Amino acid sequence: MTESASSARDTEAVSRFVESFAAQLVEAGMQRMPARVFAALLSSDEGSMTSAELGEQLRISPAAVSGAVRYLAQTHMVSREREPGSRRERYRVHGNQWYEALTNREAVIKRWEGALREGVTSLGADTPAGRRMAETLAFFEFIETEIVEMMERWRVHREKKFGQE
């Protein structure tokens, strides 16, 4: 109707999607700015944007981009790369691996297990509460190995469906 080629992205629609996807991430516990930045990167065709581009699309300050990106890099959701011949930086989503990071809660699970072990001791292994903790601990240990296997199955499944890219 209005725009020219079909290849021109509907900026409005894309932005709506970015915000609604970011909202999901926020609801799942991610901070707002990291969520918005991540959603923007994910919906860019190149899978990467510069700081300036992010600031413009999301209407946020360079400082906000910087903070968000630091968080995302720390959690391995995004990587930073230097644009050759420029002092610009590009932030990139690791194609298909970002959701692996999402399930890669190894460190998180380990901490839970630590807390639970401490719980079994504090409460006494022979008490009802202690037994409840022990069982929960066993659950997390179970989950831990299951997730690894699940991700292996996913990679097989994915390759079949999408090719090895």
Cβ-contact 69, 90 below 8 angstroms? no
Cα–Cα distance measured from residue 34 to residue 93, given in angstroms and rounded to the nearest whole number:
12
Give yes or no for residue 64 binding DNA (CB under 7 A): yes
Give yes or no for residue 60 binding a second copy (CB under 8 A): no
Q: Which of 60, 109, 143, 147 binds DNA (CB under 7 A)?
A: 60
- Which lies closer to DNA via its Cβ, residue 50 or residue 79? 50
Q: Which residue has the tokens 């001791």?
A: 121
Instruction: Determine the size of the site formed for a second copy (CB under 8 A).
Output: 53
- Which of the stretches 58-66, 94-102, 105-113, 153-161 binds DNA when contact is defined by CB under 7 A? 58-66
- Which lies closer to a second copy via its Cβ, residue 28 or residue 63? 28
Give yes or no for residue 123 binding a second copy (CB under 8 A): yes
Taking the complex as a whole, the smallest distance from the CB of residue 11 to DNA amounts, in Å, to: 19
Q: What is the CA radius of gyration of the chain?
A: 21
Taking the complex as a whole, the smallest distance from the CB of residue 142 to a second copy amounts, in Å, to: 6
Taking the complex as a whole, the smallest distance from the CB of residue 63 to DNA amounts, in Å, to: 3
Residue 133 parent element (H or E) = helix 128-162
Query: Which amino acid, one-letter code, is at 100?
Result: E
Cα–Cα distance measured from residue 120 to residue 142, given in angstroms and rounded to the nearest whole number:
17
Best CA proximity match to 89, nearest among 43, 45, 55: 55
For the chain, strand residue ranges (E) read 48-50, 78-82, 89-93
- Which lies closer to a second copy via its Cβ, residue 7 or residue 86? 7
If contact means CB under 5 to 8 A according to the sort of partner, which of a second copy, DNA, none does residue 11 touch? none
Show the CA angle centred on residue 89, arms to residues 21 and 30, nearest 5°. Answer: 30
Residues forming the site for DNA (CB under 7 A)? 31-33, 50-52, 59-67, 69-70, 80, 82, 85-89
